[in-house]
Amino acid sequence: MGSGRNGTFDIMPDFNQWAIMVFFDAEQYPEADIKTLVGKFIIGWWRFFKADTRYFLLEPYAGHGTWDGQSFVDPNNKIADPEGKIAVLTRATIRLSRLQHFWKAVPKTADQLEANKGFVYSIGIGEIPFIKQATFSVWESIEDMKAFAYKKMAHQDVIRRTRKESWYSEEMFLRFRILQDNIKLW
């Protein structure tokens, strides 16, 4: 997937930064490694271009919504938040009639992200430019993430407006336990 600039999605893509997300069943692939999951072509591409990589192995533990009609967690299966760092994926398909409203709201929220206590890393990614957008972020703790998501006025306003004005035809919010972070690939 393509990605935006400055750790968030952006009208102008960052052609030096890309994202690959692979969801797999750990029971089905208990010994899966990155080479198995993304394939020889992608690994060769990274090596050829001497790409810097950031690789996370994650386990979804809470969330709601769908991605292309698929859910990744059982909302009835309540699991306690882990101690320490967590990762979050927010993803939405934006209604064509709401694109202008969405993109006008992005800068206010995005500008606040890095200044937050406990913020570690983020990348804005998209499957289809301008329409299917996601943000992947890493936080020092669940409390730090919640302080940004639910206490910052600009972010609260966007959440309220997305619901009131029906900006999304589909949305998903997932929290992940970080099993491994920044693994050496070769």
Distance CA 28, CA 32 (A): 9
The confidence score (pLDDT) of residue 97 equals 95
- For residue 171, which of 70, 99, 66 has the smallest C-alpha distance? 66
Domain, as residue range, for 162: 2-181
Query: Over the stretch 98-122, which tens digit does the pLDDT of each residue have?
Result: 999 988 887 777 777 777 899 998 8
Query: Over the stretch 43-100, which tens digit does the pLDDT of each residue have?
Result: 888 888 877 778 888 889 999 999 889 888 887 888 888 899 999 999 999 999 999 9
**Residue 43 resides in a domain:** yes
Q: Which tokens sit at 62? A: 């809470």
Distance CA 52, CA 137 (A): 18
- For residue 185, which of 36, 34, 49, 64 has the smallest C-alpha distance? 34
- For residue 80, which of 58, 60, 61 has the smallest C-alpha distance? 61
**Residue 173 resides in a domain:** yes
**Residue 76 resides in a domain:** yes
**Residue 102 resides in a domain:** yes
**Residue 144 resides in a domain:** yes
Q: Tell me the CATH number at 43.
A: 3.30.70.100
pTM, rounded to two decimals: 0.86
Q: How many structural domains does the chain have?
A: 1
Residue pair 107/10 in contact (Cβ under 8 Å)? The answer is no
Measured CA angle at 39 (ends 35, 40), to 5 deg: 85
Ranges of beta strands (E only) in 31-144 are 56-65, 86-94, 119-128, 132-139
Containing 36, the helix (H) or strand (E) segment is: helix 34-48
Query: Over the stretch 110-167, which tens digit does the pLDDT of each residue have?
Result: 777 777 899 998 888 888 878 988 889 999 999 999 988 888 777 788 888 989 999 9
**Residue 186 resides in a domain:** no
Ramachandran class of 13: left when φ > 0, alpha when ψ lies in -120 to 50, beta otherwise:
beta
